Chain A
Amino acid sequence: MALGFTLAYLALIVLIPLTGLVLRSASLGFPGFWHVATDPRTVNALKISFGTSLIAAVINVIFGIIVAWVLVRYRFPGRRIVDAIVDLPFALPTAVAGIALTALYSKNGWIGRWLDLIGIKVAFTPIGITIALIFIGLPFVVRTVQPVMEEIRKEVEEAAATLGANRFQTITRVLLPGLQPAILTGFALAFARAVGEYGSVIFIAGNLPYVSEIAPLLIVIRLEEFDYAGATAIATIMLLISFFMLFVINLIQAWSRRRYGYGA
């Protein structure tokens, strides 16, 4: 009975609506679908979404690893608070993050003012989009890498050290390879979240077609034009890419379990 309820609720809230999307998309037929998929505005929006998400995810991986390492290995006053703050992007509504970042990076904002002096425009450009995506993606990397770092046994590092490795070699040759699956998973999660992100981006993006218009926004624009077919086609392309990413994450985890004996 419990299983029946689970399946019924799942079907009602998630599966039937999603199937509706796929059916609707299929009813466009391949020519109709192709027409929307190759529309220059769609292509540009997808490029901007995936490009900025990729850059943001790479930056999040680099700084996420440092943050996780510092939180796991070092003891300093306020560490618990810093650890809690990492989850802020999970808890802070995206619209709030969006207007706050725009206020910070606009021409007379706290940060934008200084960047403007050296001729860098952040708000209303793809750089602004990237900054919003860094904000929402960071906890995905930290929270995926952190628990695996905690599991590293000191003996491994001691063994490397007794065998003559210096600290840098121990980190790059011994520790980082073991963290690789977790890092990849964190990257994929941050990337996938960034691609679909809407609330925190639209305020800072400026939403200029072909320049700073992200794919989720283009879906909303098509919906407002009552172009349901167009919106559906873009959504389907995004979903296909998301499912592909989910599939890759699962592969990485399966591979990691085989190779290292634990999932990321």
Chain B
Amino acid sequence: MALESGPVTDPTATARHATTERRTARFVLTGIALAFLALFLVLPLVSVFVEAFRKGPTEYLAAFSEPDAQAAIRLTLLVASIAVPLNVVFGVVAAWAIAKFEFKGKAFLTTLIDLPFSVSPVISGLVYVLLFSSQSALGPWLKSQGIEILFAVPGIVLATMFVTFPFVARELIPLMQEQGTTDEEAALSLGANGWQTFWHVTLPNIKWGLLYGVLLCNARAMGEFGAVSVVSGHIRGLTNTMPLHVEILYNEYNFVAAFAVASLLALLALVTLVLKTLLELRYGAELRAVGGH
């Protein structure tokens, strides 16, 4: 301690100065960052709600009493309730296979799982159009069987599954790799079978990471526009999800209704962000291995 109490002038002042910027520089940089975020991120979000309430709460609520809007909300919920659980099952199994076992081509498999992230949403929809259209090999046969995929709910579900495919898996893979296999080995050596090991050992270990992945997967599933737009056929009341309904209302210059439906989606985004932040604050250490997007 005696050695450290050196010069008379406050030693921390110079030390701090060497590894951070001057007060003014800090002030200016913080100002630039906050102004940029306010202008590009916050203002658009605020304007959604302002535009939605432009003509008062009655007009706002009227947008939701419309049968087409209700059908769109129902369809969005239905699609998410199919696509998200399927991708959760896939994500857990894929992460389990990749993190807990050794095999050749693992890095390649991980790259393939990430593939939908680097494909334009429009192309994600296009691949299903090519696969199931009447011009394709499969199309005429499906038609003869009376199965509708394109411009119907199954196509929307498939396109949504494609774009939300990597979310759960890529949150879990680094987490499970970090945790290693020692817990599972202990469980197995104590006589647990594979399923018991997964249910009582692996799953509790990854639950927060899993929830994190589900949250992001769900937000994207409910909000997906490009891919769904290509396969939906835009049939009002039948194949319009909420984002597609927003587009139709907007293009009909029905701005209040468009922003009213959009405000519901914006609320979903806000709830997602709040839950995500809470998870990061509360279980930050457990999620540390989780990367960006």
A198 at the binding interface (Cβ < 8 Å): yes
What is the chain B residue whose CB lies nearest that of A2?
A: B97
Tell me whether B118 and A84 are in contact (CB under 8 A). Answer: no
Identify which of residues 82-138 in chain A touch chain B, using a CB-to-CB cut-off of 8 Å: 82-97, 99-101, 103-104, 109-111, 131, 134-135, 138
B61 at the binding interface (Cβ < 8 Å): no
Query: Out of B118, B131, B158, which one reaches A20, CB within 8 Å?
Result: B131
B47 at the binding interface (Cβ < 8 Å): yes
Tell me whether A198 and B265 are in contact (CB under 8 A). Answer: no
CA distance A85 to B47 in the complex (A): 15
Q: Smallest distance from the beta carbon of B236 to chain A beta carbons, Å?
A: 16
Identify which of residues 203-242 in chain A touch chain B, using a CB-to-CB cut-off of 8 Å: 203, 216-217, 219-220, 223, 228, 231-232, 235, 238-239, 242
Query: Out of A13, A82, A100, A223, which one reaches B48, CB within 8 Å?
Result: A100
Tell me whether B127 and A6 are in contact (CB under 8 A). Answer: no
Tell me whether B292 and A92 are in contact (CB under 8 A). Answer: no
Max count, chain B CB within 10 A of own CB: residue among A20, A74, A134 = A20
Tell me whether A196 and B127 are in contact (CB under 8 A). Answer: no
Tell me whether A203 and B30 are in contact (CB under 8 A). Answer: no
What is the size category of the interface that chain B forms with chain A?
35 or more
Q: Is the interface of A mostly helix, strand, loop or mixed?
A: helix
A30 at the binding interface (Cβ < 8 Å): no
Tell me whether A203 and B250 are in contact (CB under 8 A). Answer: yes
Query: Out of A96, A99, A242, which one reaches B119, CB within 8 Å?
Result: A242
Max count, chain B CB within 10 A of own CB: residue among A104, A109, A199, A246 = A199
Tell me whether A21 and B126 are in contact (CB under 8 A). Answer: yes
Known: A100-B47, A140-B292, A228-B135. A14 touches B162 (CB 8 A): yes
Q: Smallest distance from the beta carbon of B235 to chain A beta carbons, Å?
A: 14
What is the chain B residue whose CB lies nearest that of A109?
A: B47
CA distance A17 to B281 in the complex (A): 39
Known: A104-B43, A138-B40. A24 touches B33 (CB 8 A): no
Tell me whether A85 and B18 are in contact (CB under 8 A). Answer: no
A195 at the binding interface (Cβ < 8 Å): yes
CA distance A167 to B228 in the complex (A): 50
Tell me whether A94 and B90 are in contact (CB under 8 A). Answer: no
Query: Count of A residues near B, CB < 8 Å?
Result: 88
What is the chain B residue whose CB lies nearest that of A185?
A: B292
Query: Out of A134, A143, A217, which one reaches B293, CB within 8 Å?
Result: A143
Q: Smallest distance from the beta carbon of B190 to chain A beta carbons, Å?
A: 21
Known: A199-B121, A238-B120. A17 touches B41 (CB 8 A): no
Tell me whether A196 and B122 are in contact (CB under 8 A). Answer: yes
Known: A16-B131, A143-B292, A144-B292. A223 touches B18 (CB 8 A): no
The segment from B2-10, B20-28, B63-71 found at the interface with A is B20-28
Contact count A vs B, C-beta below 8 Å: 268
Tell me whether A17 and B162 are in contact (CB under 8 A). Answer: yes
Residues of chain A lying within 8 A (CB to CB) of residue B26: 74
B172 at the binding interface (Cβ < 8 Å): no
The segment from B178-186, B203-211, B216-224 found at the interface with A is B216-224
Q: Smallest distance from the beta carbon of A165 to chain B beta carbons, Å?
A: 9
Q: Smallest distance from the beta carbon of A114 to chain B beta carbons, Å?
A: 12
What is the chain A residue whose CB lies nearest that of B51?
A: A103
CA distance A103 to B136 in the complex (A): 40
B276 at the binding interface (Cβ < 8 Å): yes
Residues of chain A lying within 8 A (CB to CB) of residue B60: none
A26 at the binding interface (Cβ < 8 Å): no
CA distance A111 to B135 in the complex (A): 47
Residues of chain A lying within 8 A (CB to CB) of residue B161: 13
A255 at the binding interface (Cβ < 8 Å): no
CA distance A245 to B114 in the complex (A): 14
B42 at the binding interface (Cβ < 8 Å): yes
Known: A91-B273, A138-B41. A13 touches B33 (CB 8 A): no
- 7 smallest CB-CB distances across A and B, nearest first, come from A196-B120, A93-B223, A161-B18, A199-B225, A17-B127, A198-B226, A143-B292
Pairs across A and B, CB under 8 Å, 22 listed: A5-B97, A10-B113, A63-B33, A76-B30, A80-B277, A82-B34, A88-B42, A89-B41, A90-B219, A91-B273, A93-B222, A93-B269, A95-B244, A95-B247, A96-B269, A99-B259, A104-B47, A110-B47, A162-B18, A196-B118, A198-B229, A216-B122
Which residues of B approach A to under 8 Å, CB–CB?
15, 17-22, 25-26, 29-30, 32-34, 36-37, 39-45, 47-48, 51, 90, 93-94, 96-98, 101, 103, 109, 111-113, 115-116, 118-123, 126-131, 133, 135-136, 158, 161-162, 165, 216, 219, 222-226, 229-230, 242-244, 246-247, 250, 255, 258-259, 262, 265-266, 268-270, 272-274, 276-277, 281, 292-293
A6-B98, A10-B90, A82-B37 are known; give 17 further A-B pairs, CB within 8 A: A3-B101, A14-B112, A14-B115, A67-B33, A90-B216, A91-B219, A93-B224, A93-B242, A94-B226, A99-B262, A100-B259, A103-B255, A147-B292, A198-B122, A219-B123, A220-B229, A235-B120
